[in-house]
């Protein structure tokens, strides 16, 4: 299809929707994470406090162990045996979960077979049901208690099971997908809280901080307390090392009074999460609220918490004791509340949550608004793009490549569960074009594999169509991921209109889809779609359409050979306008006589290509030129038409010699154009006409490329240089 091929590259590294959690035999960390993400965010089950994540790694190395899917055993990643599976379908202790499972996952648990557990989601649900049955709903929080629970209930025959559980999960619990995090602790210090419990709250915040690397380029921490009013103990830029933050937290003094949660949240929304306080728009931003009672002003507390959430800040709430109001905690926290609210009986239990709070904070989303963001390679960062009418997200690494995953349902899209994935390189950015969105778009960018991006990558978020033919393009229209059309891409690159009257016959009605030259203007071209509709496309200023590369290129369009008609019909005192032939072919357009292979050319740099500089002279032969390809450093040789040479100034093939009669390919090879005063770069007010040196019945016409054409005056007329015209006179031919 003519002209469509230039856009094919934009689709080659974009892959569509996938959900491996329902595929038999799927394995890997991404599969386990995606499975547990769905189970937890369904809010059907109570929290497992990372127990199932740890079990998947200990039992089968996330399904990659050689015995995971062995013949004769269908327990899947979580290795649920046939007896345990049967109890998930018959035990009344967990029967209340069967209907919600059907509603959330469209899985009728009564009809599930043991063999279905080879699908990770089914194995994960069975593992959760088994855990709740065995624990009677009281899942241990602390890692050490989980290890003991594991040995006592699942591996009783192995006396080292608890030790192995602890040792094998250390590295798993130590990983964090992102290091760019602004975390604020907002801690209740009201009179109802004992000094000992306040110390426990501070110790918890210090221990959570100790799991991160605090420095200006990674994690930043702030600490706020509240009672009657609030106290901003320190903001994000006060301390720049982990130990300094921990020391500062433990030194905070308790204040007595009421429970003005609303004022502390208002301060956080209006003052703390600002550039002046050291917060970064490129960071995942998290608030951890620790409280033992009800707010004195619930309505304002909810409003101020909503301000935080509206600005892309994730809010976790930990309620301690029997005086907390669960509805209030839910109102303050981010959604889903089942993963953002924790209730404890006493402050001594806080220590059991530090790993889970770290894990959830590591997965917190960065909200992308319009702007430019830069991130280091070697990690996974999760983003959220709020619904808008039009927005483009452009991702480009400075070296290597990054993978861009997207989903409307999975906040951490990956290889196992996503709507799309695109690979971005320095040459070919990944561009996601969103229109008419009603739901948030979740994006995860990964560059943590060896040999991928090793420096940094940039994200540009703009409120318009930024698609480009050299990008890996993804289009999302009304929350549905689709392949970008040629028209989508053209509209991202150039002004495109669809006039009701073209002013010339519509060739799209009888031609195949593609790109075509405009019949009158070199600065425009036509796009014909599959329905025969014609669109006018305008090149940017300083560019013209080149049909050979099917794109706008930088430079001046080649000039057709001049007409042999008189330049004017009456005497004038200023230079006449240039004239052009109406029927003859454009001999200034580069001609192709030989197809040369793609080969290296150092001049074909990425920078030149982005500037629209696609054509360059070839020093070895002036009748050939270099046409750069979209691949950096690569191009092809091209031949000029006969009697032409390449002009780098003109960006076109021009005549080598003075033209006597271009209609018959007659040239004056002994004279050069500059002998007649014809030089490249002539402007509208330049001198285009000159007297012939020895025959006054002829004159010289120049074009803007420096070509010279010998033209004849009409019969019985001679050239008058002073009036720039042919007038009646006597012919006089001097010796040449």
- pLDDT tier at 44 (50, 70, 90 boundaries)? very high
Whole-number Å distance between alpha carbons of 376 and 286: 20
Q: Looking at residue 682, what is its pLDDT?
A: 66
Q: CB of 514 within 8 A of CB of 528?
A: yes
Looking at the structure, do residues 348 and 469 belong to the same domain, yes or no? no
Number of domains, the chain: 5
Residues 6+ apart with CB under 8 A from 247: none
Which pLDDT score, from 0 to 100, does residue 577 have?
36
Hey, CA dihedral for 411, 415, 420, 422, is it positive or negative? positive
**405 and 296, same structural domain?**
no
Q: What is the mean pLDDT of residues 41-58?
A: 94
Indicate if the pLDDT at residue 439 is higher than 70: yes
Q: Is position 693 within any domain? A: yes
Both tokens assigned to 194: 């004992």
What's the mean pLDDT in 719-729?
A: 80
Cis previous bond, 610, omega within 30: no
Domain boundary among 362, 385, 401: 362
Q: Is residue 272 part of a domain?
A: yes
Q: How far apart are CA 570 and CA 318, in angstroms?
A: 93
Residues 322 and 436 in one domain: no
Q: Indicate whether 632 belongs to any domain.
A: no
Using DSSP's 3-state secondary structure scheme, residue 472 falls into strand
State the Cα–Cα distance between residues 488 and 587, nearest whole angstrom: 34
| 446 shares its domain with 511 | no
Residues 169 and 196 both lie in one domain:
no
Query: How far is the CA of 110 from the CAs of 21, 89, 98, in angstroms?
Result: 20, 6, 8
On whether both 578 and 715 belong to a single domain, the answer is yes
548: pLDDT confidence band, cut at 50, 70 and 90?
confident
**DSSP secondary structure code for residue 713 in this structure:** P
pLDDT of amino acid 728: 84
Residues 165 and 219 in one domain: no
Q: Which residue has the higher pLDDT, 545 or 177?
A: 545
In a domain, residue 545? The reply is no
Residue 173 binned pLDDT confidence (cut-offs 50, 70, 90): low
Q: Tell me which residue range forms the domain holding 472.
A: 370-493
Q: 269 and 198 in one domain?
A: yes
pLDDT of residue 85: 97
Same domain, yes or no: 459 and 570: no
Q: Which two tokens stand for residue 610?
A: 């982005």
pLDDT digits (tens, 9 = 90+) for 510-524: 667 889 999 888 999
Please report the pLDDT score of residue 685 as a whole number. Answer: 59
pLDDT mean over 636-643: 84
Residues 436 and 452 grouped into a single domain: yes
Q: Is the model more confident about 512 or about 83? A: 83
Per-chain mean pLDDT for the chain: 86
Distance of CA 35 to the CA centre of its chain: 25
- Model confidence pLDDT, tens digit, residues 599-625: 889 888 877 877 778 889 998 898 899
**């045996």: which residue's tokens?**
81
Tokens of 366: 């960065």
pLDDT exceeds 70 at position 569: no
Distances (CA, A) of 76 to 68, 107, 682, 688: 6, 17, 77, 83
Average pLDDT over residues 435-461: 88
Statement to judge: residues 80 and 112 lie in one domain? yes
Do the bridges between strand 708-712 and strand 698-702 make them parallel or antiparallel, or are there none, so unpaired? antiparallel
Q: Provide the CATH number for the domain around residue 232.
A: 3.40.50.410
Q: Are 726 and 701 in contact (CB under 8 A)?
A: no
Domain-ending residue, one of 362, 384, 415: 362
Residue 506: pLDDT band (50, 70, 90) is confident
Dihedral of the CA atoms 60, 64, 65, 67 (nearest 10)?
A: 90
d(CA 622, CA 670): 18
Residue 588 has a pLDDT of 37
Is residue 643, in this structure, part of any structural domain at all? no
Kindly state whether residue 726 falls inside one of the protein's structural domains: yes
pLDDT value of position 661: 65
Strands (E), 16-125: 18-19
The first and second tokens of residue 77, run together, are 């990643």
Placement of tokens 């290129």 in the chain: 553
Sheet with 534-538: strands ordered across? 496-497, 534-538, 524-528, 514-517
Q: What is the reported pLDDT for 492? A: 94
Indicate whether 280 pLDDT > 90: yes
CA nearest to 11, candidates 493, 481, 658, 397:
481
338, 362, 386 — which closes off a domain? 362
**Integer distance in angstroms from the first to the last C-alpha of the chain?**
55
Residue 597 scores a pLDDT above 80:
yes
Angle at 601 between CA 595 and CA 606, to 5 degrees: 110
Of the listed ranges 66-70, 94-98, 120-124, 719-723, the least confidently predicted one is 719-723
With beta carbons less than 8 A apart as the criterion, state whether 588 and 652 touch. Answer: yes
On whether both 452 and 518 belong to a single domain, the answer is no
Q: Which helix (H) or strand (E) holds 547?
A: none
What confidence category does residue 422 fall into, taking pLDDT thresholds of 50, 70 and 90? very high
Alpha-carbon dihedral sign for residues 498, 503, 505, 507: negative
702 band by pLDDT with thresholds 50, 70 and 90: confident
Domain assignment of residue 516, yes or no: yes
Q: What is the DSSP letter of 695?
A: B
Residue 58's Cβ-count burial label (10 Å; 0-12, 13-18, 19+) is: buried
Compare 730 and 208 and report the one with higher pLDDT. 208
Q: Is residue 615 part of a domain?
A: no
Question: Which band of pLDDT confidence, cut at 50, 70 and 90, is reported for residue 594?
Answer: low
For residue range 309-364, list pLDDT tens digits in order. 999 999 999 999 888 889 999 999 999 999 999 999 999 888 888 888 998 898 89
H helix and E strand count, the chain: 17, 39
């Amino acid at each position: 299809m003519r002209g469509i091929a230039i856009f094919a590259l934009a689709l080659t590294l974009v892959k569509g929707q996938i959900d491996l959690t329902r595929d038999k035999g799927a394995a890997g960390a991404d599969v386990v994470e995606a499975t547990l993400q769905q189970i937890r965010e369904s809010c059907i089950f109570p929290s497992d406090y990372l127990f199932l994540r740890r079990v998947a790694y200990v039992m089968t190395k996330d399904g990659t162990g050689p015995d995971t899917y062995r013949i004769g055993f269908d327990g899947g990643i979580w290795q649920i045996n046939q007896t345990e599976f049967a109890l998930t379908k018959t035990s009344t202790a967990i029967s209340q979960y069967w209907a919600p499972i059907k509603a959330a996952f469209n899985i009728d648990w009564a009809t599930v077979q043991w063999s279905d557990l080879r699908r990770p989601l089914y194995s994960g649900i069975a593992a959760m049901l088994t855990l709740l049955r065995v624990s009677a709903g009281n899942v241990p929080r602390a890692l050490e208690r989980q290890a003991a629970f594991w040995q006592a209930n699942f591996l009783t025959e192995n006396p080292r099971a608890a030790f192995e559980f602890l040792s094998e999960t250390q590295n798993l619990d130590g990983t964090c997908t992102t290091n760019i995090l602004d975390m604020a602790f907002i801690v209740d210090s009201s009179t109802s809280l004992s000094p000992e419990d306040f110390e426990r709250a501070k110790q918890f915040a210090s221990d959570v901080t100790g799991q991160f690397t605090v420095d200006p380029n990674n994690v930043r921490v702030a600490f706020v307390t509240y009672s009657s009013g609030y106290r901003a103990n320190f903001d994000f830029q006060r301390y720049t090392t982990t130990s300094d933050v921990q020391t500062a937290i433990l030194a905070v003094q308790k204040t007595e009074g009421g429970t003005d949660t609303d004022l502390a949240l208002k301060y956080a929304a209006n003052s703390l999460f600002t550039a002046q306080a050291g917060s970064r728009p490129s960071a995942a931003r998290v608030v951890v609220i620790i409280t033992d009672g009800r707010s004195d002003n619930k309505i304002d507390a909810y409003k101020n918490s909503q301000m935080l959430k509206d600005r892309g800040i994730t809010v976790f709430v930990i309620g301690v004791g029997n005086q907390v109001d669960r509805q209030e905690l839910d109102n303050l926290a981010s959604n889903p509340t089942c993963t953002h609210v924790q209730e404890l009986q006493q402050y001594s239990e806080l220590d059991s949550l530090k790993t889970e709070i770290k894990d959830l904070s590591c997965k917190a989303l960065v909200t992308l608004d319009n702007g430019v963001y830069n991130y280091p390679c070697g990690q996974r960062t999760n983003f959220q793009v709020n619904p808008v009418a039009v927005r483009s997200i452009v991702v480009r690494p400075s070296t290597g490549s990054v993978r861009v995953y997207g989903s409307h349902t999975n906040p951490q899209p990956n290889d196992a569960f996503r709507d799309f994935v695109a690979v971005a390189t320095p040459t070919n950015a990944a561009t996601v074009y969103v229109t008419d969105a009603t739901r948030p778009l979740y994006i995860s960018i990964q560059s943590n594999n060896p040999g991928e991006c090793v420096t940094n990558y940039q994200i540009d978020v703009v409120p318009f169509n930024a698609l480009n033919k050299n990008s890996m393009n993804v289009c999302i229209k009304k929350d549905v991921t689709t392949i970008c059309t040629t028209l989508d891409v053209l509209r991202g690159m150039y002004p495109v209109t669809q006039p009701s009257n073209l002013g010339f016959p519509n060739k799209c009605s009888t031609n195949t889809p593609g790109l075509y030259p405009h019949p009158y203007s070199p600065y425009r071209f036509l796009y014909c779609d599959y329905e025969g509709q014609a669109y006018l496309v305008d090149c940017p200023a300083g560019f013209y359409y080149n049909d050979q590369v099917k794109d706008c290129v930088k430079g001046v369009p080649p000039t057709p050979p001049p007409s042999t008609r008189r330049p004017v019909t009456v005497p004038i005192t200023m230079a006449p306008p240039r004239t052009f032939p109406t029927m003859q072919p454009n001999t200034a357009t580069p001609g192709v006589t030989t197809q040369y292979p793609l080969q290296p050319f150092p001049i074909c740099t990425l920078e030149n290509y982005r500037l629209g500089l696609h054509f360059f002279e070839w020093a070895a032969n002036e009748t050939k030129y270099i046409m750069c390809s979209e691949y950096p450093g690569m191009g092809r040789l091209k031949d000029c038409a006969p009697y032409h040479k390449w002009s780098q100034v003109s960006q076109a093939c021009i005549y080598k010699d003075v033209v006597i009669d271009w209609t018959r390919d007659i040239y004056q090879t002994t004279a050069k154009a500059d002998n007649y005063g014809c030089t490249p770069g002539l402007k509208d007010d330049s001198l285009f006409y000159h007297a012939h040196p020895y025959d006054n019945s002829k004159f010289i016409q120049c074009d803007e490329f420096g070509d010279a054409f010998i033209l004849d005056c009409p019969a019985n007329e001679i050239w008058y240089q002073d009036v720039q015209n042919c007038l009646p006179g006597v012919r006089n031919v001097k010796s040449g």
